[in-house]
């Protein structure tokens, strides 16, 4: 019987990692976050290349091994901007597709990047809405790696890949990897920025998740987005000194990484 929620975690080719030890550590933390689910009706599939040294995996996790080649344009700046984006989307998308095809029957699916964190409430919430199209995470936390504070970011699904829960049939999966077009892989699976609009145009829009659903880790070497740290992104702007209301609004969105938050997203 299909689980309420299936998490798919695509992992880049080990040759594309600057520091595999760091990537492995981040992945282990992401795995630990997913394993906190309060409702146990979930499964998680890590998609990784043969030979990758993965961390120990708890119950409900499995690995789909693949033999995709390294992405030749993995680093931003190694190609034209659009060529870089296309290469990343194709590489990530086909890993996700491999995981989805491996999974078999599914109810709802969430793609999770290998360095992010998710709320322990997700599976329980989805279980209460089995026929729903799905949700985009409207508000999520942004956390600088190792920091003591998080920032509650509105419009979270526009910035973070770990931000959508979608009923599985809406992916309109092909019968095989070979049957999938390159455009399908890049647009439907390789990037999070297109799916909301596509599903809305099909008459199956996603709702906003009514609570903070994930944490986007920023400011570490293995980040694809080369994201800036929390202070640099939200506060270190000269124009903010002339906008005290906006500055106050941003300060109000800071949240201390308390024991309660750790238990929901990071573990004790």
Distance CA 83, CA 73 (A): 8
Q: What is the CATH number of the domain that holds 161?
A: 3.90.550
Torsion of CA 172, 192, 136, 10, to 10 degrees: 80
- Domain total in the chain: 1
Query: What kind and span of H or E run contains 18?
Result: none
Domain assignment of residue 178, given as a range = 5-266
Residue 4 pLDDT: 98
Token readout for 111 is 């793609």
Beta strands in the chain (DSSP E): 5-10, 42-49, 61-66, 108-111, 117-118, 134-136, 139-144, 149-154, 164-167, 207-208, 214-218, 254-256
**Could you tell me if 168 and 242 are in contact, meaning their C-beta atoms sit under 8 angstroms apart?**
no
Per-residue pLDDT of the chain (268 residues; tens, 9 = 90+): 899 999 999 999 999 999 999 999 999 999 999 999 999 999 999 999 999 999 999 999 999 999 999 988 777 665 577 788 889 999 999 999 999 999 999 999 999 999 999 999 999 999 999 999 999 999 999 999 989 999 999 999 999 999 999 999 999 999 999 999 999 999 999 999 999 999 999 999 999 999 999 999 998 544 544 456 787 778 877 777 788 888 888 888 999 999 999 999 997 5
């Amino acid at each position: 019987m299909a689980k309420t929620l299936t998490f798919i975690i695509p992992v880049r080719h080990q040759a594309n990692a600057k520091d595999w030890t760091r990537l492995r550590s981040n992945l282990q933390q992401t795995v630990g976050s997913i394993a906190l689910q309060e409702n146990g009706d979930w499964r998680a599939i890590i998609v990784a290349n043969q030979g990758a040294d993965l961390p120990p995996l708890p119950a409900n996790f499995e690995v789909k091994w693949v033999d995709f080649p390294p992405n030749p344009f993995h680093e931003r700046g190694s190609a034209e901007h659009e060529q870089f984006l296309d290469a990343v989307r194709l590489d990530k998308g086909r890993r996700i597709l491999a995981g989805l095809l491996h999974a078999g029957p599914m109810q709802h699916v969430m793609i999770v990047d290998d360095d992010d964190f998710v709320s322990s409430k997700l599976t329980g919430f989805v279980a209460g809405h089995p026929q729903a199209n799905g949700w985009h995470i409207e508000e999520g936390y942004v956390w600088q790696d190792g920091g003591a504070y998080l920032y509650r970011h509105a419009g979270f699904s526009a910035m973070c890949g770990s931000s959508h829960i979608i009923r599985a049939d809406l992916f309109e999966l092909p019968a095989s990897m070979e049957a999938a077009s390159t455009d399908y892989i890049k647009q439907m699976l390789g990037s999070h920025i297109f799916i909301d609009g596509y599903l809305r145009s099909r008459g199956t829009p996603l709702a906003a998740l009514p609570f903070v659903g994930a944490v986007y880790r920023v400011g570490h070497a293995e980040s694809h987005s080369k994201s800036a740290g929390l202070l640099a992104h939200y506060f270190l702007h000269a124009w903010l000194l002339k906008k005290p209301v906006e500055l106050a609004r941003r300060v109000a969105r800071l949240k201390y990484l308390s024991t309660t938050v750790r238990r929901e997203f990071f573990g004790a």
